[in-house]
A and B are shown apart, each in its own frame.
Chain A
Amino acid sequence: MSAPCGRMASRSLFQFLSTFGRTALGNSGLRHFSGTSARRVTAQSKVETERASSPWTLVAAVCLRRLPVISADCSPIEEEVRGMLQQVEFEKSILSDHELRLLDDTERMTRKQAEDYDSDEEDVRKDQEIVLTQDLEDSWEQRMKTFQPAERFRDDVDKDLTSLERCLDSSLLLLAEQEVGGEKMWLLPQTQWQGGETLRQTAERALASLPAAAFKATFLGNAPCGVYKYKLPKAARTESTVGTKVFFFKAILSDDSPPADPNASLLWVKKNELQRYLKPAYLMKVEPFIIGL
Chain B
Amino acid sequence: MAFGIKRGVRFQILSESDFDRIHWGTLHILEKVGVQVDSVACRKLLKDNGCEVDESKRIAKIPSHLVEEALSKKKTSITLAARDPKYDAKLDLDHSYMTANGNGAVAVDFETGERRPSTKKDVADSSRIIDYLQNVHIHWPMVSSTDKHPSVVHLHDLDASMSNTQKHIMYETGVTLSDAKHLTEIGYIAAGGEKEFRHRPIHSCLQCTYAPLQHDAGVMDASLYFAEHGVPLVFFGMPQPGATGPVTLVGSLVVGNAEVLSALVMTQLHAPGSAVIYGMGNAPLDMRTTIRAGGSPEHAISSAIATELAHYYGMPSCVGVSATAKVPGDQAVLEYYTGCVGPLLAGADLMCGVGLLEDSSCLFYEQIVIDNEIVGSIARLIRGEWADDDTMALDIIEKVGVGKNFLAQKHTMQHLRAGEHFMPDLIDRRSFDAWSASGSKSLVDKAREKTRWILENHRVPPLDADTQKRVDAVIEKAKKPMWGGETKRD
Partners in one complex: no
B-side residues, CB < 8 A to A, are none
